[in-house]
Chain A
Amino acid sequence: MNAINKEPERHEIEALLPWHAAGTLSRRDADRVEQALAGDRELARRYDLVREELAETIHLNETLGAPSARAMEKLFAAIDAEEARSPSRQRSFDLGGRIAEFLSSLTPRTLAWSATAAAVAILVQAAVIATVVVKDQGAPSGPSLASAPSEGSFAVVRFAPQATANDITNFLGAYKAKVVEGPLNMGGQLYRIRLSETKLPKDEVGKIVQQMQAESKVVGFIAARE
């Protein structure tokens, strides 16, 4: 067996031995270390020392025991106190809260967590609609629609998955409509929109809904709602 003659290279490889023993090196580095170990007895002997340290460190840590139940009790008492102080953290059905939640989770990694394409689509759409509402109401820190209005004429709508923020803005603008509540269902796809601030006759609402339904690029589903 030939030892590594280049000292800097050996030093570099030796520095990686602890991670090699723990199995946390990249495939490429692990291969480099394996090759060096195979050709260098002294390095292999030092690797045995590293493995010895690793085994004893695990042993030592495993004898440290575990925290008592007091730690968990203290934690959940603190969480209870926080929830009591800031109810906004609790589950709610107001649009502002829901959209803020969606937006806060809209990082690329979060999107990667979503198990299905449908879930991603819902998240993206929520963000799109949040953009529309923010633009519409000029609220820089997110929409505040906690109390949905009860006066006027309304419909529930599921926007088409491919609809962009501009599409939805133009659509709502054309009909002078506003998103006032949602997502309404557990799947997070239905939104309540206000068609008019005054209560319109039923047949007139029916006509508007029919026209909106024809906008297939933006609307997936729509129905009048009292």
Chain B
Amino acid sequence: MQSTSDEVLIGRIANGDRLAMQVLYARHHVRVFRFVVRLVRHEATAEDVISEVFLDVWRQAGRFEGRSAVSTWMLAIARFKALSALRRRPDEELDEETAGAIEDPSDDPGAVLEKKDKSTMIRKCLTGLSAEHREIIDLVYYHEKSVEEVAEIVGIPENTVKTRMFYARKRLAELLKAAGIDRGWP
């Protein structure tokens, strides 16, 4: 059975349909949360942000013109809200758990060699990227956004999207190399 499309749900939300809002929330809140928590690195803040994102969806549903996918529209709102939250929290008070996860792998090469786990190290280095690079890697690899959609969400030209992705991957390779994993690129 085909589920109701996001666009239809937005149409219903524009008419004040709370049930449609619940369905849309159930469908997207986890992914939006993950996108935000990777940017703000603080779970409680990310929860506050996603409440604001979906409240904006409720308020602006009537103005949604369908020029992009609903998920793209929501991620663009989420990004804006997350960056605003970061500006309100300039010191970026990281969760202890998150802070541990982003420890510079080059700080402790001995422990890295002990692990000998390439997958774990790639994930650790992905966490250690800058917000700008984390964002683009997540949008492309996890949120499955096209070049055009990333350009819309981040607000940069399409060529810049490709260049930024290249440099994000290059930085990842550098972090891995510093941690003792040379992948022979770049």
Residue numbers of A with Cβ under 8 A of B are 14-16, 18-19, 21-25, 45-46, 49-50, 52-61, 64-68, 70-72, 74-76, 78-79, 82-83, 89-91, 101, 104-105, 107-110, 112-113
Are B47 and A70 in contact, CB atoms less than 8 angstroms apart? yes
Are A91 and B123 in contact, CB atoms less than 8 angstroms apart? no
Are A18 and B169 in contact, CB atoms less than 8 angstroms apart? yes
Q: Please indicate the chain A residues that have their CB under 8 angstroms from the CB of B48 in the complex.
A: 71, 74
Q: How far is the CA of A45 from the CA of B165 in the complex (A)?
A: 18
Q: Please indicate the chain B residues that have their CB under 8 angstroms from the CB of A113 in the complex.
A: 5, 7-8, 11, 66
Contacting residue for B33 out of A66, A79, A82, A108, CB 8 A = A66
Are A64 and B37 in contact, CB atoms less than 8 angstroms apart? yes
16 residue pairs bridging A and B, Cβ less than 8 Å apart: A15-B166, A18-B141, A18-B165, A55-B119, A61-B138, A66-B33, A71-B48, A72-B25, A75-B55, A78-B55, A82-B55, A90-B16, A101-B14, A104-B14, A105-B14, A113-B11
**Contact bitstring B123-167, A, C-beta under 8 A = 1, else 0:** 100110000000001101110111101000000000000110110
Using CB atoms, name the residue of chain B closest to A73. B51
Q: Please indicate the chain B residues that have their CB under 8 angstroms from the CB of A101 in the complex.
A: 14-15, 62
Contacts A109-B65, A113-B66 aside, 19 further interface pairs with beta carbons under 8 A come to A15-B165, A24-B146, A56-B119, A58-B141, A59-B123, A60-B126, A61-B142, A67-B29, A68-B47, A71-B33, A71-B50, A82-B55, A91-B15, A101-B14, A104-B14, A110-B11, A110-B66, A112-B66, A113-B8
A3 to chain B, nearest CB (A): 15
Q: How far is the CA of A25 from the CA of B54 in the complex (A)?
A: 29
> Which of chain B's residues 1-55 have a Cβ closer than 8 Å to chain A?
5, 7-8, 11, 14-16, 18, 21, 25, 29-30, 33-34, 37-38, 43, 46-48, 50-51, 54-55
Q: How far is the CA of A14 from the CA of B185 in the complex (A)?
A: 12
Q: How far is the CA of A108 from the CA of B62 in the complex (A)?
A: 14
Q: Please indicate the chain B residues that have their CB under 8 angstroms from the CB of A14 in the complex.
A: 166
Interface size of B in residues (CB-CB distance below 8 Å): 55
Are A24 and B29 in contact, CB atoms less than 8 angstroms apart? no
Are B126 and A75 in contact, CB atoms less than 8 angstroms apart? no
Are B47 and A71 in contact, CB atoms less than 8 angstroms apart? yes
7 shortest interchain CB distances as A-B pairs: A109-B66, A57-B141, A71-B47, A56-B122, A104-B62, A74-B51, A24-B146
Asked if B80 is at the interface (CB within 8 A of a chain A CB), the reply is no
Please indicate which of the listed interface residues A23, A64, A104 has the most CB atoms of chain B within 10 Å of its own CB: A64
Contacting residue for A64 out of B11, B34, B146, B169, CB 8 A = B34
Asked if B115 is at the interface (CB within 8 A of a chain A CB), the reply is no
Contacting residue for B172 out of A22, A53, A68, A82, CB 8 A = A53
Asked if B88 is at the interface (CB within 8 A of a chain A CB), the reply is no
Q: How far is the CA of A104 from the CA of B123 in the complex (A)?
A: 45
Are B29 and A66 in contact, CB atoms less than 8 angstroms apart? yes
Q: How far is the CA of A56 from the CA of B172 in the complex (A)?
A: 12
Are A109 and B7 in contact, CB atoms less than 8 angstroms apart? yes
Are B47 and A109 in contact, CB atoms less than 8 angstroms apart? no
Contacting residue for A56 out of B30, B59, B123, CB 8 A = B123
Are B59 and A82 in contact, CB atoms less than 8 angstroms apart? yes
Q: Please indicate the chain A residues that have their CB under 8 angstroms from the CB of B169 in the complex.
A: 18, 50, 53
Q: Please indicate the chain B residues that have their CB under 8 angstroms from the CB of A53 in the complex.
A: 122, 126, 137, 141, 169, 172
